[in-house]
Structure 1
Amino acid sequence: MTRTSRRRMGTWWRARWAARSGDAGMTTSEYAMGTIAAAGFATILYKIVTSGSVSGALESVIGKALDAPF
C-alpha cells in the first residue's frame, strides 16, 4: 500500500466515523453554555474560598508552612 493510498484510507475512515457518530464537535451554543457554567463554578468557588472560616484556615496553613524550620 502506498503512502497516498494509506492517507486516503485514513481520511475515509475519519469521515465515516464522524458521519456515524453524528457529532463532529461542539457548536457555538455549547461553547457558550460551557463558558457560563465555568464562570458560575468559578464564582461559587471564589465565594467559598473568600468566606471567613475558609480564609482563616488557609491563612493558618500558610502561616504554619512559612514558620516551618528548615
Structure 2
Amino acid sequence: MLAVERGAATAEYAVATMAAVGFAGLLVVILRGEEVRGILTDLVRNALTVG
C-alpha cells in the first residue's frame, strides 16, 4: 500500500468518525425533549407490565 493510500484511508475514517459524532449529538438533543422522554418512558412501562 502506498503512503498516499494510507492517508486516504485515514481521512475516510476521520470523516466517518465525525459523522458518527454528529449523529450521536443529534440523538442526544432529540432524546432530551420532554415529549420523547415521555414516549420512551411509556414504552418501557408497557414492556415491563405483566398481564
Q: When the two structures are superposed, what TM-score results if normalisation uses the length of structure 1?
A: 0.55
Q: Which has the higher contact order (CA 8 A, sep 6+)?
A: 2
Q: One-letter code of the match for 1:38? A: A
Q: When the two structures are superposed, what TM-score results if normalisation uses the length of structure 2?
A: 0.71
Question: Which structure dedicates a bigger proportion of its chain to helix?
Answer: 2
Q: One-letter code of the match for 1:61? A: L
Which stretches of structure 1, 4 residues or more, deviate above 3 A after TM superposition? none
Structure 1: unaligned runs, 5 residues or longer: 1-23
- Larger radius of gyration, structure 1 or 2? 1
Identity of aligned pairs, percent?
Answer: 37
RMSD: 1.9
